[in-house]
Amino acid sequence: MKKLINITDITSYLYCPRKLWLKSKGFKEPPNQKMILGYLKHKTLDIFNKNESSLVSGIKQKISQPELNQLYKDTLLEISKEVLSSHENQAKAFGIDEKDFLKQVLKISEPEIKLRVESISQALELGFLGKELWRELKPKYLTEFEIISSELGLKGRIDRIKFHDSIIPYELKTREDIFDSDKIQLAGYALLLEKEFNKPVNLEIVETSTQSQEVLLNQELKDNVLEIADKIRALEEPSFPSNFSKCQACSLRKECYGED
């Protein structure tokens, strides 16, 4: 069986093979507020995603878009509070304020809520309610979708997937720019989705804080993912990066250069 390679490790390899190699040797980045916040947000959205079918199936009568929007917000806030409470010590240690955290969760979730509310409203107009409403929901969106293929030796967690006539994965970035590594990351997700659902995935979307770009995937990009994954499996100590500017803010710089 192939060693499982996380899709994010492929993008890490493209950025700096040496840092990825250090992590494989047990060196860990010291936790910081950004890292803990990211974990708590992912945890919140993961729980929400797993419970969304029950939420939608519980709608037994036609309700308005503002009411749907509020239902989703209330549910997210409740989950956010539970997640923060279960990680209270970490939150305190890194100065994470509850009100700020809840605001951040709602802000990053606004696009997700909007998409879902529009889809549910359309289904309600067609007369679907309860379990039938969830079953007939088109398009259907999932977030924080975890997927593994032992055959490919790959695993990943996809930010958003749109299920309709086709399957479209989304990669969501908080930065403004779109990098070539984003396309490689999407190609990796495409391979996993094709294996899971036995359907071709040739279109994916990268969304940043300022733009949205469709990515047309070809076999060359997908083959590149598998080639890089094999390089990671065989990775030995790489040379130092030629772009020294990458090293300046690296959390593993001391370990990398053997500094005290």
Residue whose entry in the numeric block shows the structure tokens 């030629």: 242
pLDDT of residue 174: 77
pLDDT of residue 21: 93
| Domain spans, the chain | 5-26+140-240, 33-135
Rounded Cα distance between 161 and 140, Å, is 8
pLDDT of residue 164: 87
pLDDT per residue of the chain (260 residues) written in tens, 0 to 9: 789 999 999 999 999 999 999 999 899 888 899 899 989 998 998 899 889 999 999 999 999 999 999 999 999 999 999 999 999 999 999 999 999 999 999 998 898 899 999 999 999 999 999 999 999 999 999 888 999 999 999 999 999 999 988 999 998 887 888 888 999 999 999 999 999 999 999 898 988 878 888 888 888 999 999 999 999 999 998 888 777 777 888 888 888 887 65
Full DSSP string of the chain: -PPPEEHHHHHHHHH-HHHHHHHHTT--PPP-HHHHHHHHHHHHHHHHHHHHHHHHHT--S---HHHHHHHHHHHHHHHHHHHHHHTHHHHHHTT--HHHHHHHHHHHHHHHHHHHHHHHHHHHHTT--HHHHHHT-SSEEEEEEEEEETTTTEEEEEEEEEESSSEEEEEE-SSS---HHHHHHHHHHHHHHHHHHSS---EEEEE-SS-EEEEE--HHHHHHHHHHHHHHHT---PPPPS-GGGGTT-TTHHHHHT--
pLDDT of residue 230: 95
149 is written with which tokens?
Answer: 């293929």
pLDDT of residue 210: 81
Q: Which fold has domain 5-26+140-240?
A: Lambda Exonuclease; Chain A (3.90.320)
Rounded Cα distance between 142 and 59, Å, is 18
Full DSSP string of 108-162: HHHHHHHHHHHHHHHHHHTT--HHHHHHT-SSEEEEEEEEEETTTTEEEEEEEEE
Closest CA to 42 of 32, 34, 54: 34
pLDDT of residue 199: 92
Rounded Cα distance between 186 and 202, Å, is 10
pLDDT of residue 260: 58
Closest CA to 4 of 183, 232, 196, 194: 232
pTM, rounded to two decimals: 0.84
Kindly report whether the peptide bond that precedes residue 139 is cis, defined as omega within 30 degrees of 0: yes
